[in-house]
């Protein structure tokens, strides 16, 4: 079946450091890919998405590129802030309106 694998956390880094969270997927077709973020005490929020190969999703300084050849969708940010401390989830879906399949989440802690 379909699955999403993320690097395990926690990832601890200093403010203004570069962040990468690896995400790879296993799927029989060509899904759309997402990153969701969960801030402490809050619900899941969509951070960015890419619906086809080579698309780049971006939001709030975060970027991820849909790489079909490596079945990956790694999340990057060039300079993190303390406010970026959260749990990040990679997810896939096959068609608009269908269920999401999530990875296990990666906790990120940014220290001042």
Partner 1 sequence: DTGVSQNPRHKITKRGQNVTFRCDPISEHNRLYWYRQTLGQGPEFLTYFQNEAQLEKSRLLSDRFSAERPKGSFSTLEIQRTEQGDSAMYLCASTASNYEQYFGPGTRLTVT
Residues that bind partner 1 (CB under 8 A): 4, 32, 34, 36, 42-46, 49, 51, 89, 91, 93, 96-97, 99-105
CA distance 91 to 51: 12
Whole-angstrom Cα distance, residue 108 to residue 11?
5
Q: Report yes or no: 94 and 8 within 8 Å, Cβ to Cβ.
A: no
The phi, psi pair for 83, rounded to 5°, reads -70, -10
CB of 29 to partner 1, least distance (A): 15
Query: CB-wise, 46 or 82, nearer to partner 1?
Result: 46
How near is the Cβ of 7 to partner 1 at its closest, in Å? 13
Output the smallest distance, CB 15 to partner 1, in A: 25
């Amino acid at each position: 079946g379909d699955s999403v694998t993320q690097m395990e956390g926690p990832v601890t880094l200093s403010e203004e450091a570069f962040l990468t969270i690896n995400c790879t997927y296993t799927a029989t077709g060509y899904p759309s890919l997402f990153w969701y973020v969960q801030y402490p005490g809050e619900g899941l929020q969509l951070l960015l998405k890419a619906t086809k190969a080579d698309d780049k999703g971006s939001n709030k300084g975060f970027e991820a590129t849909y790489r079909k050849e490596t079945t990956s969708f790694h999340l990057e940010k060039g300079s993190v802030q303390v406010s970026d401390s959260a749990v990040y989830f990679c997810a896939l879906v096959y068609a608009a309106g269908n269920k999401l399949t999530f990875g296990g989440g990666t906790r990120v802690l940014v220290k001042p």
